[in-house]
Structure 1
Amino acid sequence: MYCLRRNVYSTSELAQILNISEFKAKRYLKDLECLFEEESIENIHNKINKVPKIIEKLRKKQSFTPEERQMYVILKFLKADIINLSQISEEIGVTRRTLTNDLNELKEILEKFHLEIKNLTRYGIILEGKESDKRSFFNLYLIKISIEQKYLPKAFDGIFQKFQELKKEYNVYNIVKEMLTFMNIQDNTFAFLNLELKSYISILRKEYQDFSTDIKIEEVEEDRKFREFLKKTKLYTNFEINLIIETSRKQYKGNLMNLYPEKTIEAEKLIRFIGESTKTDIKITKELLARIMLIIIVRDYKIEFNINEFYIFNNAIGKAYLIPYKKISELLKEYFEEIDSFDLASLAMTFLTNIYLDNQNKIEKVKDIAIVYNFLHRDMIIDLCEDIGLKRDEQMYKLISTFDFEEYLMKNNPKVVIAFEDIDFSKYNIEDRLVEFNFPITKYDKLKLKPFLENI
């Protein structure tokens, strides 16, 4: 799991991460030799992905990294301001001193939120600071945990199960969908995730309120109906109501170029760099600029708070696509000092799509197809659909967010379910109609649809 983050680790580093001796680290590596016959970490990741049960077995056995131990303690603070480190140390099999050292590493991030962890003799440790700052801090870490969920130890599954219970009990799904309607946002997974997590935090922290959450609500006429709706839910404090409305007004409805002028310049430089390096005339349109900017903004956010997102590269493709894709990937690695595999793949495919606009395959018109997505941009998903021959016609397929998929299946019975991301579908029992693609998509990939579609 940890090798997915970089290619080289020393046995002493792995021993420290896993909280075991170097001898045990070497022994475990010996047991995993069957995975290390490949030449790169990407190939190992691909090999693991072919047998999903391997990941589940690894999750049951894997120990906590220092960062994961920090996240686990933070989740405990989500439900109570005072917690007992001795109890937590027993739960995850490390010493109290180890946890104390881990939390010392959090000091810099805590300071950004004006928070501090202090010892209380005979009671445990307490998270001190304004409640509004605590909720902002929790929101950040819940986003991080949600993105990295698939690769976290099994002990984290409990919090996601709790969220599912809260989702049903408090009708969170429908409330968030209604909020997105007020915001005039149809499909934005990051917006949905952010609002959903804010809802869970508000529910779990209901007993913990202070002057920072009991503030005056900003009375702006254009937001009156939205404001009244949020009050009516009785889920949110005045702090959340102001924050949600302000975020909607500035972040989701605002013009990206005006909101982030420095990112606009960075995106333009990147486009020119790729164009010159590939000897391609890439037109800097508003649409392309916005797509590149979104990826860069999210990338910078993930780097600042050490959020890791992985993407599995599709090696089973023709050289006509593989060579230019890898060339662009190498150029992006050269351009950025740090970029994770998901952002690398997103940017590479965005540029490749612009270079090969005419590379479209045709498939006879079909219906009853659900395209399920997580964090990919909608426009990119539509581009990918065209690459496998699905035309831009709502009669052919429906774009369904992962947050909507469970609800969608209750009312619909799609003939084919297509995904372009590494999404866990295990609980839906749709293996017989699931088709998963890894981009870059090529003309060869459309053959995966043949068993499910007519007139191909």
Structure 2
Amino acid sequence: MKLDIATKHLRILNLIYFTKGENLEFLESCLGIFRPNLNNYLKDIHSIIPNSKKTGKMDLIIKDILDTPNLYNLLIQNQGVSKEDRIFFLTLKLLITSSLNLDLLSKSLNVSRRTLNGDLITIKENLNFFDLKVTSFAGKGIFLEGEFLNIKKSLSCYIYKYFVEEEYLPPIFNAHFSDVLQNIEAETTLNVDIENLVSHFNFDGFFYNRLLLKAFYYSFYYLDSSYSSDNRTLENSLKNKFEFETYFSKVFEKSELDRFHDYLHSSIFKNVYLEEISCFINILKICSGNFAEESVFLNDHILIWKKIILDSIELKITENDILKFKNFILRIGFSKKQSHYLEVYELEFLKINIDANTRKECINLYNEFKKYYWNISFTDVFMLYFLITSLEKKEKKDIFVLYKEIPKYLLNSLKEKLELKHSVNIKEFVNLSFFEEFKKNNNVRTVGVFKDLNLLDNSLEVIHLDLKF
């Protein structure tokens, strides 16, 4: 029997490559699956390997997977449409066209009408979060009902999911949606305008901001709007500077408002309708992380973040340090409270080659964040890690460590742990007997000493080090 490979198999394979086959708990958390299901997916992937020997030992299965070249291409050749993929496909199609013909779709998807009717139960539940209703009329089809603005909100979320996950999705997605969601005429202008917005207004702080803005444009403007009058566009409705600032001061600093005014009135986003401005502002706030309504909880978040960072990567960090990530804090806090959460598998970090220690620390940081922020993505944590550690490297002091009885080879082996624990950069280990001579040839301002060593030199800053880990 031919095994259909699903989108989740492809994600799991790339995550196995990323983790080098270690830390399966991370895969469970990242993909929201339990170990028995993960093991079944791994067995499926293993069975695709030519001449593979059947085994129930997961360590052997993972080793074979890691040792097999071009395995991802083999999976692509066997990719089918899973129930999860099918529900996503049908939902996106329903939101774009407002109706479904189950007879035609059962042939395209190679499943029965009964199977599609079962999928509709889940689709109805999912769209209910957006106050949308799915109705069936015998002999006519399936139809979407609800306020136009709610349809656009949900469509924006699902188009974003499509853009982010596109490379993993079955071919049927591209066959049905590429003409609608990759319009060549719109793309050129849209991409330039998005790049200008991201580059000139500090919107480049998060992964996928460009796709968020692109998804918003396609759902709120490029696809047909019910507002027929061009006079209702932002270009024509916000010519008054006071009205313009009333809306966009929620996102931009006062010094940026004039520049954004000029940008908006010359960009493709000027065609957004005034009735949709709250959605546009929300997208801009997500891109910037500027959520004033979440700021009242900032101190609570800071306490949590200090604990997370210390517990995961053993880095002591001050409140002032954490405030440098204020927009990250507010966006993650805001996201945690959204009831209409849609699972989006953000895996862009897989394209970045990192060393084993960095990977381990990123996963530790992610695991701690998940305890407090249930829907945080590893992509955000991945970026946060580099921001936090770059701050650490930038601000930690250069020191020379003095020792007396401790073997130097032992200190060299402990160098990285000492630097991490005390937030310092160890330039060199110097035996106390040679220190006076060493000072003559080196600029020494700060030294590190262990508790068994007394240093009488008031001209130097002394940091007391601890060998307990």
Q: Please say whether Structure 1 and Structure 2 have the same fold, judged by a TM-score greater than 0.5.
A: yes
CA contact (8 A) 1:230 1:236 kept: no
What is the match of residue 280 of structure 2? 244
CA contact (8 A) 2:152 2:219 kept: yes
Which deviates more from structure 2 when the two are superposed, residues 87-96 or residues 275-284? 275-284
What is the match of residue 76 of structure 1? 93
CA contact (8 A) 2:306 2:317 kept: yes
Among 125, 135, 143, the residue aligned to 1:108:
125
Which deviates more from structure 2 when the two are superposed, residues 307-316 or residues 114-123? 307-316
What is the match of residue 346 of structure 2? 309
Show the 5 A alignment for 1:431-450: none
Seen in structure 2, the aligned counterparts of structure 1 residues 102 and 55 have a Cα distance that, compared at 3 Å, is: same
Seen in structure 2, the aligned counterparts of structure 1 residues 338 and 110 have a Cα distance that, compared at 3 Å, is: closer
> Take 2:333 and 2:129, find their aligned partners in 1: how far apart are those partners?
22
> Take 2:231 and 2:123, find their aligned partners in 1: how far apart are those partners?
28
CA contact (8 A) 2:159 2:219 kept: no
- Measured after TM superposition, the shift of residue 243 of structure 1 is 3.7
Seen in structure 2, the aligned counterparts of structure 1 residues 338 and 61 have a Cα distance that, compared at 3 Å, is: same
> Take 2:279 and 2:340, find their aligned partners in 1: how far apart are those partners?
24
What is the match of residue 8 of structure 1? 35
Please state if 1:290 is matched with 2:308: no
- Measured after TM superposition, the shift of residue 72 of structure 1 is 0.9
Gaps of 5+ in 2: 1-6, 13-30, 246-260, 398-469
What is the match of residue 119 of structure 1? 136
Cα offsets for 1:109-132 (capped at 9, x unmatched): 322222111112222111111222
Seen in structure 2, the aligned counterparts of structure 1 residues 59 and 132 have a Cα distance that, compared at 3 Å, is: farther
> Take 2:185 and 2:54, find their aligned partners in 1: how far apart are those partners?
39
- Which amino acid is 1:8 matched to? R
Gaps of 5+ in 1: 15-24, 361-456
CA contact (8 A) 2:47 2:54 kept: no
CA contact (8 A) 2:136 2:143 kept: yes
Seen in structure 2, the aligned counterparts of structure 1 residues 318 and 147 have a Cα distance that, compared at 3 Å, is: closer
> Take 1:209 and 1:75, find their aligned partners in 2: how far apart are those partners?
19
Show the 5 A alignment for 1:255-266: 255-256=290-291, 259-262=294-297, 265-266=300-301
- Which amino acid is 1:274 matched to? I
Cα offsets for 1:312-339 (capped at 9, x unmatched): 49897366x5665565455445666665
> Take 1:177 and 1:85, find their aligned partners in 2: how far apart are those partners?
40
Cα offsets for 1:126-157 (capped at 9, x unmatched): 11112221111100111122222222112222
CA contact (8 A) 2:190 2:268 kept: no
The number of residue pairs the alignment matches comes to: 343
- Which amino acid is 2:210 matched to? F
> Take 1:254 and 1:11, find their aligned partners in 2: how far apart are those partners?
34
> Take 2:269 and 2:368, find their aligned partners in 1: how far apart are those partners?
49
Seen in structure 2, the aligned counterparts of structure 1 residues 348 and 11 have a Cα distance that, compared at 3 Å, is: closer
Show the 5 A alignment for 1:154-173: 154-158=171-175, 159-160=177-178, 162-168=180-186, 171-173=189-191
Please state if 1:275 is matched with 2:310: yes
> Take 1:330 and 1:346, find their aligned partners in 2: how far apart are those partners?
15
Please state if 1:229 is matched with 2:265: yes
What is the match of residue 223 of structure 2? 205
CA contact (8 A) 2:336 2:374 kept: no
What is the match of residue 193 of structure 1? 211
What is the match of residue 435 of structure 1? none
Cα offsets for 1:31-51 (capped at 9, x unmatched): 345899874999899x49x96
Seen in structure 2, the aligned counterparts of structure 1 residues 151 and 238 have a Cα distance that, compared at 3 Å, is: same
Which deviates more from structure 2 when the two are superposed, residues 32-41 or residues 233-242? 32-41
What is the match of residue 142 of structure 1? 159
> Take 2:282 and 2:376, find their aligned partners in 1: how far apart are those partners?
30
> Take 2:196 and 2:219, find their aligned partners in 1: how far apart are those partners?
19
What is the match of residue 192 of structure 2? 174
What SS is found at the alignment partner of 2:182? helix
Cα offsets for 1:150-202 (capped at 9, x unmatched): 22112222424643334557732234346568x83453664432332222224
Cα offsets for 1:227-271 (capped at 9, x unmatched): 9837987854443456425754x5566844654433652343132
Cα root mean square deviation, aligned: 4.7
- Which amino acid is 1:317 matched to? D
Q: TM-score, normalised by structure 2?
A: 0.57
CA contact (8 A) 1:60 1:154 kept: no
The higher radius of gyration belongs to 2
What is the match of residue 55 of structure 1? 72
Seen in structure 2, the aligned counterparts of structure 1 residues 123 and 138 have a Cα distance that, compared at 3 Å, is: same
> Take 2:290 and 2:97, find their aligned partners in 1: how far apart are those partners?
39
What SS is found at the alignment partner of 1:171? helix
> Take 2:350 and 2:113, find their aligned partners in 1: how far apart are those partners?
37
Please state if 1:342 is matched with 2:379: yes
- Which amino acid is 1:197 matched to? A
Cα offsets for 1:374-415 (capped at 9, x unmatched): xxxxxxxxxxxxxxxxxxxxxxxxxxxxxxxxxxxxxxxxxx
Q: TM-score, normalised by structure 1?
A: 0.59
> Take 1:7 and 1:203, find their aligned partners in 2: how far apart are those partners?
40
- Measured after TM superposition, the shift of residue 305 of structure 1 is 1.4
> Take 1:35 and 1:261, find their aligned partners in 2: how far apart are those partners?
57
What is the match of residue 375 of structure 1? none
What is the match of residue 95 of structure 1? 112
What is the match of residue 66 of structure 1? 83
> Take 2:318 and 2:35, find their aligned partners in 1: how far apart are those partners?
38
What SS is found at the alignment partner of 1:304? coil
